[in-house]
């Protein structure tokens, strides 16, 4: 599943609820959810299992998450 800015315009509780639902869907269905999120809350940020960072439209880093020694 691919989602673009699914939490835009939502309050923090609703955004967290939506991301929890997507996380449960991914786990139970053994599917991958790909999303772009601008400035996620720390609660949502720590839900990620893999992280791909972009800078100026280019891939700048790909890491499993959580990462020890994250800059």
Is pLDDT above 60 for 70? no
Task: For residue 32, tell me if it sits in a domain.
Answer: yes
Task: For residue 71, tell me if it sits in a domain.
Answer: no
Under 8 Å between Cβ of 5 and 36: yes
Range of the domain at 14: 2-64
> How many degrees, rounded to 5, is the angle at CA 49 between CA 37 and CA 19?
45
| Number of independent structural domains in the chain | 1
Task: For residue 36, tell me if it sits in a domain.
Answer: yes
Instruction: Give the other-Cβ count within 10 Å of 63's Cβ.
Output: 12
Report how far residue 28's alpha carbon sits from residue 60's, in angstroms, rounded to the nearest whole number: 31
Q: What is the pLDDT of residue 47?
A: 84
Report the predicted TM-score, pTM, of the whole model to 2 decimal places: 0.72
> How many degrees, rounded to 5, is the angle at CA 55 between CA 21 and CA 61?
70
Question: Could you tell me the CATH number of the domain that includes residue 49?
Answer: 3.40.50.300
Q: Residues 9-44: pLDDT tens digits?
A: 889 999 999 999 999 998 899 988 888 888 888 888
Task: For residue 70, tell me if it sits in a domain.
Answer: no
Task: For residue 33, tell me if it sits in a domain.
Answer: yes
């Amino acid at each position: 599943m691919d989602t673009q800015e699914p939490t835009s315009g939502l309050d923090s509780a609703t955004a967290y609820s939506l991301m929890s639902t997507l996380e449960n869907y991914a786990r139970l269905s053994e599917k991958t959810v790909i999303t772009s999120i601008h400035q996620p809350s720390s609660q949502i940020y720590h839900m990620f299992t893999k992280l791909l960072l972009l800078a100026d439209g280019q891939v700048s880093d790909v890491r499993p998450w959580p990462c020890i020694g994250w800059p």
